[in-house]
Structure formats: C-alpha cells, structure tokens
Amino acid sequence: MTDTTASRRLLQTAEGAHSAAFTPADWGLVATAVLIWGSSFLLIAEGLESLSPGMVTWLRIAFGWLALGTLPAARRTRIAAEDRTRLLLVGVVWLAVPMTIFPVAEQWVSSSVTGMLNGALPLFSAGIAAILLQRLPGVRQRWGIAIGFMGIVAIALPTIEGGSRTALGVSLVIVAMMSYGVAGNLVVPLQQRYGSLAVIWRAQSVALVLTAPYAVTGLGDSRFEWQPVGAVVVLGAFGTGFAFVAAGDLMGRVGATRGSIIAYLIPVVALVLGVLLRDEHVAALAIAGLGLVLAGAWLTSRAGR
C-alpha cells in the first residue's frame, strides 16, 4: 500500500445518515451539546483560578472518561483493526489538541470571546468535508455558513482587545477550531459503525495518556480549592463526556458540516453566561451578530442538497 493510499484510508469521512431537515431528535442533540459546551468556557475559567492549564485539561478528560466508562456500551464494543489508527487520530485532534489549547488561550482571552470564536468551526468542517468528499456543501449550507460567519465576526470584533497576548490567544483558539474541523469529519464513519459511546470513550483514553505529561508539569502551580475543582469535575463529566456523545450522534446522523451548527449556537450561551455571571458588557454589534448566527444555523440545518 502506498503512502498516499494509506493517508486516504486514514483521512476518510462520510455523508450523514439523512440529509432531510433536522428532526426533533436532531435538535435535541444540538440543544444538549450547545447548553453544555456553551458553559464549558466559563467552567474552564473557573478551574484556572487554582489549577494549571495542564491540570484543567487532564482532569476534564479524566472525569469524562470515568463518566462514559460507567456505561457498558462504551467498554464492550470492539473496534476493527483497520479503524484503530483513525480512532487514535480522533483522540489527538478532537480531544488532546483542542483541550490543551483552550485553558492556555483563556489565560489571555475571556471565556465569552473563546466561546464566540467557536463559531468558526463550520467553516473548517465544511472545507475539510469538501476536500474529503470531493464536492461542495449544498447551496443552503453555503449560505448558512457565510451568514453565520458574518455573525461571528460581528460578535467577536467589539470584544477582542488589542495586544500580542490577546492575538496569540485568538490564534490558538482558531487552531483548535481547525483541529475540531478535522475531527468532526473523521468521527462520522466511526460513529456510524460503532456508535458514539465506544468511539468517544476510546478517544478519551488516547487523550488521557497524551496530556498526562503536561498535567505533571503543572502540579507545582496547582492547589486544591473546592469551587475550581468542582467546576472541572462538571466540565469533564458533562462537557468532555455526554456532550461529546451527543455531538457524535448528531454528526453521524446529519454529517460533519450540518452537525457543526452546534458551534454557531455556542456563542449565544457563552454571551448570556458572560453577562449574567461575569458582568461582561455586550456591544450592540454583538447583539446584531446573534441574529445572523441564528439565521446561519437555521439555514445550515435545512435539507442537504
């Protein structure tokens, strides 16, 4: 087998199980992931009050792994040998890389801005899906992506402060979005074959090992405090556990591009929590951006072609 053929076998995606408009079950999966992930950036910020970025990353993965490991379906499903390398890659690009990046970035970028920048995910998901499937998304999806992206820009611009550290934080979040875009496409065929529980739990196992050295280096900078540690427990069990399962199920059903509308709705939750719990100011331009984000999410969810 040539290197090119091996790469193509590794970097595979698939269409969703159905291309019709979202069903109530699809919207239920969207709501579950959005509500949990929209609050995750607030929980990361809370965890950083007493824990190093490396400890936040490792503990959230560990508690997610423990939560899903209590479910028999996660442990009993066997993964075929030809899919194990792809599953290993999912552990890297969907968990280890972005979950290492977010706590680092939030040292310089606010939780609400980090949440808002997640709206760039559909652009990367659609671009990578187009390359792997060798065709463009449907017309409605392209319009939805474009409109949603304009909304994300409108939300983010008034809140991003200048400075090199802020620019670095924003750049890191964009790298995380690119990593998520690759992962979302890789997950689709795996989810359709084995189900989300088995795929996510094993990917968490990979990430748990890969992020352990970074956690060890941060032990000296961490201290135990109930509230930050409790925030990371919730972040792990729900954000790194059950929300990933919901997202995996959604992507298996509707495909990576349409499933990534989750990222358009996360900024809504992030903004509301930022205002209510962190007393953050929301500019009028950001409010207008929310309307564009919602319109983009609705268009992206419509029938595929």
Average pLDDT, whole number, for the chain? 80
For residue 294 the two structure tokens come to 């919602």
In this prediction, residue 228 carries a pLDDT of 92
Residue 2 lies in a domain: no
Residue 305 lies in a domain: no
Residues of the chain with pLDDT > 90, as a percent, come to: 22
Residue 171 lies in a domain: yes
In this prediction, residue 164 carries a pLDDT of 67
How many structural domains are present in the chain?
1
- Cα separation, 252 vs 184, in Å, equals 9
Residue 262: which residues within 8 A CB-CB, separation 6 or more? Answer: 30, 33, 34, 37, 121, 247, 250
Residue 35 lies in a domain: yes
Give the mean model confidence (pLDDT) for residues 79-97. Answer: 90
| Domain that residue 31 falls in | 22-300
pLDDT band, very low/low/confident/very high, at 282 (cuts 50, 70, 90): low
- Cα separation, 133 vs 184, in Å, equals 13
Q: How far apart are the first and last CA of the chain?
A: 35
Residue 128 lies in a domain: yes
In this prediction, residue 5 carries a pLDDT of 47
Residue 4 has pLDDT above 60, yes or no: no
Residue 3 lies in a domain: no
pLDDT band, very low/low/confident/very high, at 160 (cuts 50, 70, 90): low
Q: Higher-confidence residue: 264 or 65?
A: 65
In this prediction, residue 53 carries a pLDDT of 93
In this prediction, residue 1 carries a pLDDT of 47
What pLDDT, in 10s, does the model give residues 179-229?
988 887 788 788 888 888 888 899 999 999 999 999 999 888 999 999 999
Is residue 300 within 8 Å of 147, Cβ to Cβ?
Answer: no
Q: Higher-confidence residue: 197 or 135?
A: 197
Residue 16 has pLDDT above 60, yes or no: no
Residue 7 lies in a domain: no
What pLDDT, in 10s, does the model give residues 21-45?
778 888 888 888 888 888 888 898 8
Burial class (CB in 10 A: 0-12, 13-18, 19+), 93: buried
Residue 134 lies in a domain: yes
Residue 116 has pLDDT above 50, yes or no: yes
Residue 87 has pLDDT above 70, yes or no: yes
